[in-house]
């Protein structure tokens, strides 16, 4: 399974708008700070569907000696991530790498990680593929590794048709119940360290953040 081409095209065409919208948005900063408080110095961190590198940029400021890898299917998002993250770093040696890559191909990345982030990626994937990417993430964690998940919940719907911010692309959004995700993590031996919910201001849908450890 690969991502809907409409999703990739939408993010490519709206990458700069996305970056401008969220670069000064503080609604997720508390979650980022919470994640950073659990990350040990020198950790290897993978961000799946990294977009323009906003999460990695926040984590680098908290944990500058960690090694970060961000992957995304959108070439324009990766270009922004490389530019944005590099411009904020004072060190000559940048501790972040970005690649154009399908997050479903996580097993093609060599080695294991202390932290794997999956921020608002599974809303674009049906249950089978969402569960697969979570399973592969769990298996790519080192002992005591952390999994950071954020997604959207809408109890009245499993999925719905939506449109991109520019109105040009039709997208399918998937809403995965919290209990389903928690049971999946338990199956792979992960325990929840932190969970928080907040209402999305524009749609009244619920956004969920969960940090789990193996």
Note the pLDDT tens digit of each residue in 33-57. Answer: 999 999 999 999 999 999 999 999 9
Global pTM value: 0.89
Domain of residue 57 covers: 5-213
Note the pLDDT tens digit of each residue in 87-97. Answer: 666 554 568 99
Report the mean per-residue pLDDT for the chain.
Answer: 88
The CA-CA-CA angle for residues 91, 94, 98, to 5°, reads: 155
CA-to-CA distance for 63 and 102, rounded, in angstroms?
26
Note the pLDDT tens digit of each residue in 127-136. Answer: 999 999 999 9
| pLDDT of residue 78 exceeding 90 | yes
The closest of 101, 110, 112 to 44, measured between CA atoms, is: 112
> What domain count does the chain have?
1
Supply the CATH number for residue 204's domain.
3.40.50.150
Question: pLDDT over 90 for what percent of the chain?
Answer: 67
pLDDT band at 120 (very low <50, low <70, confident <90, very high): very high
pLDDT attached to residue 89: 61
pLDDT attached to residue 179: 96
Exposure of 197 in the CB half-sphere (CA atoms within 13 A): 9
């Amino acid at each position: 399974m690969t991502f809907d081409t409409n999703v990739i095209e939408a993010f490519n065409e709206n990458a700069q708008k996305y970056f401008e919208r969220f670069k000064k948005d503080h609604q997720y900063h508390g979650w980022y700070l919470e994640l950073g408080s659990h990350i040990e110095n020198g950790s290897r961190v993978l961000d799946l569907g990294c977009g323009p590198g906003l999460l990695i940029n926040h984590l680098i400021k908290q944990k500058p000696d960690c090694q970060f890898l961000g992957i995304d299917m959108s070439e324009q998002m990766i270009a922004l991530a490389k530019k944005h993250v590099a411009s904020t770093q004072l060190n000559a040696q940048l501790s972040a790498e970005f690649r154009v890559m399908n997050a479903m191909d996580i097993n093609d990345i060599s080695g294991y990680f202390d932290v794997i982030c999956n921020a608002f990626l599974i809303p674009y994937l049906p249950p089978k593929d969402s569960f697969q990417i979570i399973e592969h993430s769990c298996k790519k964690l080192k002992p005591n590794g952390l999994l950071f998940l954020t997604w959207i919940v809408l109890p009245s719907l499993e999925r719905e048709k939506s449109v991109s911010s520019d109105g040009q692309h039709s997208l399918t959004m998937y809403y995965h119940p919290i209990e389903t995700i928690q049971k999946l993590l338990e199956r792979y031996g992960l325990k929840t360290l932190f969970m928080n919910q907040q209402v999305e201001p524009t749609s009244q849908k619920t956004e969920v953040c969960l940090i789990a450890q193996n």
